[in-house]
Amino acid sequence: MDTAAKRAEFRALHAQGCFVLPNPWDIGSARLLQHLGFKALASTSSGFAWTAGRPDYGVTRDDVLAHLSVLCAATSLPVNADFQEGFANTPESVAANVAMAIGTGVAGLSIEDRKLGGGGLYDFDYAVARIRAAKAAIVASGDDVILVARTEGLLGDSFPLTDAIERLVAFADAGADCLYAPGVTGRENIAAMVRAVAPKPLNVLMAGPGMTVAQLADLGVRRISVGGALARVALGAMLKVAEEIKQGSFDGLANAASGKILNGMFGGR
- pLDDT by residue (tens digit) across 17-32? 999 999 999 999 999 9
How far is the C-alpha of 135 from the C-alpha of 170, rounded, in Å?
13
* Residue at 240 is within a domain: no
**Percent over 70 (pLDDT), the chain:** 99
Q: How many domains does the chain have?
A: 1
170 lies in a domain? Answer: yes
* Across 54-72, average pLDDT: 97
Asked if residue 146 has pLDDT above 60, the reply is yes
* Cα–chain center distance at 205: 9
The verdict on residue 97 lying in a domain is yes
pLDDT at 157: 80
Is residue 102 assigned to a domain? yes
Neighbour tally for 63: CB within 10 Å: 15
Residue 269 lies in a domain: no
Q: Of residues 255 and 222, which shows the higher confidence score?
A: 222
Whether the per-residue pLDDT at 269 is higher than 70: the answer is: no
Q: What confidence tier does 268 reach under pLDDT thresholds 50, 70, 90?
A: low
**Average pLDDT of the residues in 72-101:** 98
Lowest mean pLDDT among 124-128, 159-163, 255-259: 255-259
Q: Where are the beta strands (DSSP E) in 74-144?
A: 79-82, 108-112
Indicate whether 82 pLDDT > 90: yes
Predicted confidence at residue 164, as pLDDT, reads: 97
Range of the domain at 64: 3-227
Tell me, yes or no, whether 234 lies in a domain: no
CA dist 228 and 35 (Å) reads 20
CATH number at residue 181: 3.20.20.60
Q: What is the dihedral of CA 187, 167, 164, 145, to 10 degrees?
A: 60
Cα–Cα dist 136/130, whole Å: 10
User: What percentage of the chain reaches a pLDDT higher than 90?
Assistant: 91
Is it the case that residue 141 has pLDDT exceeding 90?
A: yes
Structural domain includes residue 144: yes
Note whether residue 264 is domain-resident: no
Sheet holding 223-225, edge to edge: 19-21, 223-225, 202-205, 178-180, 146-150, 108-112, 79-82, 41-42
**Mean pLDDT value across the chain:** 96
- How large is the greatest C-alpha to C-alpha distance in the chain, in angstroms? 59
Does the structure show a pLDDT above 90 at 234? Answer: yes
| pLDDT value of position 210 | 87
For the CA atoms of the chain, what is the radius of gyration?
19
Model pLDDT for residues 160-211, shown as the tens digit of each residue: 999 999 999 999 999 999 999 999 999 999 999 999 999 999 999 999 888 9
**Average pLDDT in the 134-155 region?**
97
- Distances in whole angstroms, Cα of residue 14 to Cα of each of 82, 108, 124, 202: 17, 11, 26, 9
pLDDT of residue 267: 84
pLDDT at 119: 84
> Can you give the pTM of this predicted structure?
0.94
